[in-house]
C-alpha cells in the first residue's frame, strides 16, 4: 500500500495501552524497556489487509493531577481549532497571492520541502522546542502565543500586499479600458490643448470609427461657439477614435448635450502636466512595490504554514497522550501509532478495531469480544465520534483546514 494520493487515504493518530491485557503488571512496569508492547503486534496482525501502521513514540509528558488532565483535554481541543483556523488563513492567503485554487496548493504548502503526509509519517516530538520539564499548560501557552504571532504576521503582510495590488489593478484598469473610461493622458501632448485661456477650452471626444464622417461634418455645428477646424484625431483603438476640439467655455454644457445626441462622448479631462506625471510615477511605484512584496510574502507564508503544521502535530500528539492518560491510567505505558487507511476500508477497519478493543471502555466484556460467535462482524462502536481506543484524525491536505 502506498500513500502517493493522500486524497484516497485517512491518517489517524492511535493511542492504546502497550499491553493487550490491562492486568498485565509486566506491561505497566516502566522499568521494563518494551517500547511497543503486545498491542503493536496485535494491531498489525488484525489490520494488515486494511491499513498501514507506523509506530509513533508518545512523549513522556508531565501528567499532573486528574484535574490538570481534564482541563488539558478541553484546552487542547480548543487550541487545535485555533491552529486549524490559522493554517486555513495562511493557506488561503498564499493561494490568493499565487492566484491558485486551494486544490492546487499541496505542492507549495509543506514542511521544509516535505509533503504533509510524508512529514507526518516521520514526525517526532521536538524536544528542542517543547521540553518534557514543561507542564501541559506551559506547552499549550507557548504554542498559542506562537499562533497569535503567526496569524498577526500573516494578516499584516497579506493586507499590505492586497492593498498595493488592489490600487494597482484599479489604476491599470483605468489605463487599459475602453476609450470612454480609460486614462488617455499617454495619448495627448501639451500642444493638443489651448491652455491658460480665459475663454477657450479644449475637450476630448470619443467617436466610433464608423462615425468619423459624421464627426468631421457636424462637430462645428454642434454649437455656434466651436472654433472652426480645431479637431484632430489623436489616438484610435480597434473601435473608437480620440479627437480634440476647442470651443468657448461658457458653451461647454450645450456642446456636451448636442454631442451626446449624436452619440459622441465628451470626456472629463483637463490637461495637467504635473498631475499626469504624478499618476505615471504612482503607477510605476505600485508595480515596483507589488514585485518587491510578492517574493518575500510567498516565502513568509510558506514558512508560517510549515511552523503552524508542526505545532498542529504537537497538539495532536498531546491530545493522544492526555486521552490515553485519562482512559488507561498511570504509570504511562502507552502505544502510539499512525494508521494510514484507504477511505474505502474505514468502516471495516473500525469494526475490526472495535471488536478487538471494545473491552477498554467497558462497553463489552473482554471475553465476549474474544468470542466470534458473540460479536457480529458488522458491530459498530456506540457513537460515530467515540471509540474504545484513542483515535484522532490528522489533516494532511491544505483544503481540509477550516
Cell (9 digits) for 238: 480597434
CA 250 to chain CA centroid, nearest Å: 57
pLDDT (tens digit per residue) in 52-103: 999 999 999 998 899 999 999 999 999 999 999 999 999 999 999 999 998 8
List, in sequence order, the alpha helices (H) in 262-397. Answer: 273-328, 346-357, 366-370
Whole-angstrom distance, CA of residue 392 vs CA of residue 147: 21
State residue 27's pLDDT score.
Answer: 44
**pLDDT bracket for residue 383 (50, 70, 90):** low
Distance CA 123, CA 106 (A): 18
Model confidence at 157: pLDDT above 90: yes
pTM, two decimals, is: 0.78
Task: Identify the pLDDT of residue 21.
Answer: 53
Confidence of residue 31 (pLDDT cuts 50, 70, 90): very low
* 141-146 contact pairs (CB < 8 A, 24+): 143/79, 143/83, 143/311, 143/314, 143/315, 144/79, 144/82, 146/307, 146/311
Q: What is the SS3 assignment for 267?
A: strand
As a whole number, mean pLDDT of residues 105-113 equals 91
Q: Which of 129, 133, 162 is nearest to 145 (CA)?
A: 129
Convert 272-289 into a string of H (helix), E (strand) and C (coil).
CHHHHHHHHHHHHHHHHH
Exposure pattern of 297-323 as b/e (b: 16+ CB <10 Å)? bbebbbebbbbbbbbbbbbbbbbbbbb
pLDDT at position 38 over 50: yes
The CB-based long-range contact list for 74-82 (8 Å cut-off, 24+ gap) reads 75/137, 75/140, 76/140, 76/315, 76/318, 76/319, 76/322, 77/319, 79/140, 79/143, 79/144, 79/147, 79/315, 80/312, 80/315, 80/316, 80/319, 82/144, 82/147
Is the predicted pLDDT of residue 384 greater than 90, yes or no?
no
Q: Name the pLDDT band for 288 (thresholds 50, 70, 90).
A: very high
pLDDT reported for residue 138: 96
Compare 118 and 33 and report the one with higher pLDDT.
Answer: 118
Q: Is the pLDDT of residue 230 over 90?
A: yes
> In this prediction, what percent of the chain has a pLDDT beyond 90?
70
User: Which of 402, 331, 347 is CA-nearest to residue 379?
Assistant: 347
Whether residue 279 contacts residue 164, with contact meaning beta carbons closer than 8 Å, is answered with no
Amino acid at each position: 500500500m502506498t500513500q502517493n494520493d493522500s486524497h484516497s487515504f485517512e491518517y489517524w493518530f492511535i493511542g492504546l495501552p502497550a499491553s493487550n491485557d490491562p492486568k498485565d503488571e509486566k506491561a505497566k512496569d516502566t522499568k521494563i524497556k518494551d517500547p511497543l508492547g503486545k498491542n503493536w503486534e496485535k494491531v498489525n496482525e488484525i489490520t494488515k489487509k486494511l491499513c498501514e501502521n507506523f509506530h509513533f513514540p508518545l512523549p513522556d509528558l508531565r501528567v499532573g493531577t486528574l484535574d490538570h488532565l481534564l482541563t488539558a483535554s478541553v484546552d487542547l481541543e480548543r487550541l487545535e481549532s485555533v491552529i486549524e483556523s490559522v493554517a486555513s488563513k495562511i493557506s488561503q492567503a498564499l493561494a490568493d497571492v499565487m492566484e491558485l485554487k486551494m486544490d492546487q496548493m499541496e505542492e507549495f504548502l509543506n514542511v521544509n520541502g516535505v509533503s504533509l503526509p510524508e512529514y507526518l509519517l516521520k514526525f517526532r516530538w521536538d524536544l528542542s522546542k517543547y521540553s518534557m520539564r514543561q507542564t501541559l499548560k506551559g506547552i499549550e501557552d507557548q504554542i498559542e502565543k506562537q499562533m497569535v504571532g503567526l496569524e498577526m504576521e500573516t494578516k499584516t503582510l497579506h493586507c499590505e500586499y492586497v492593498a498595493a495590488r488592489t490600487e494597482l489593478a484599479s489604476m491599470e484598469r483605468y489605463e487599459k479600458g475602453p476609450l470612454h473610461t480609460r486614462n488617455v493622458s499617454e495619448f495627448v501632448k501639451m500642444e493638443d490643448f489651448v491652455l491658460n485661456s480665459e475663454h477657450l477650452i479644449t475637450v476630448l471626444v470619443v467617436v466610433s470609427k464608423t462615425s468619423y464622417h459624421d464627426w468631421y461634418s457636424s462637430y462645428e455645428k454642434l454649437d455656434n461657439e466651436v472654433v472652426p477646424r480645431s479637431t484632430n484625431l489623436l489616438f484610435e483603438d480597434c473601435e473608437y477614435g480620440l479627437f480634440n476640439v476647442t470651443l468657448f467655455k461658457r458653451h461647454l454644457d450645450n456642446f456636451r448635450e448636442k454631442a451626446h445626441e449624436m452619440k459622441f462622448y465628451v470626456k472629463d479631462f483637463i490637461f495637467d502636466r504635473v498631475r499626469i506625471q504624478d499618476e505615471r510615477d504612482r503607477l510605476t511605484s505600485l508595480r515596483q512595490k507589488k514585485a518587491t512584496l510578492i517574493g518575500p510574502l510567498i516565502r513568509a507564508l510558506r514558512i508560517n504554514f510549515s511552523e503552524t503544521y508542526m505545532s498542529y502535530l504537537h497538539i495532536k500528539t498531546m491530545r493522544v497522550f492526555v486521552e490515553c492518560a485519562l482512559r488507561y491510567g498511570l504509570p504511562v505505558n502507552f502505544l502510539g501509532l499512525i494508521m494510514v487507511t484507504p477511505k474505502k476500508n474505514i468502516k471495516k477497519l473500525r469494526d475490526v478495531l472495535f471488536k478487538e478493543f471494545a473491552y477498554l471502555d467497558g462497553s463489552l466484556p473482554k471475553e465476549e469480544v474474544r468470542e466470534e460467535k458473540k460479536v457480529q462482524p458488522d458491530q459498530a462502536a456506540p457513537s460515530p465520534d467515540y471509540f474504545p481506543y484513542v483515535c484522532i484524525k490528522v489533516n494532511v491536505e491544505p483544503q481540509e483546514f477550516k
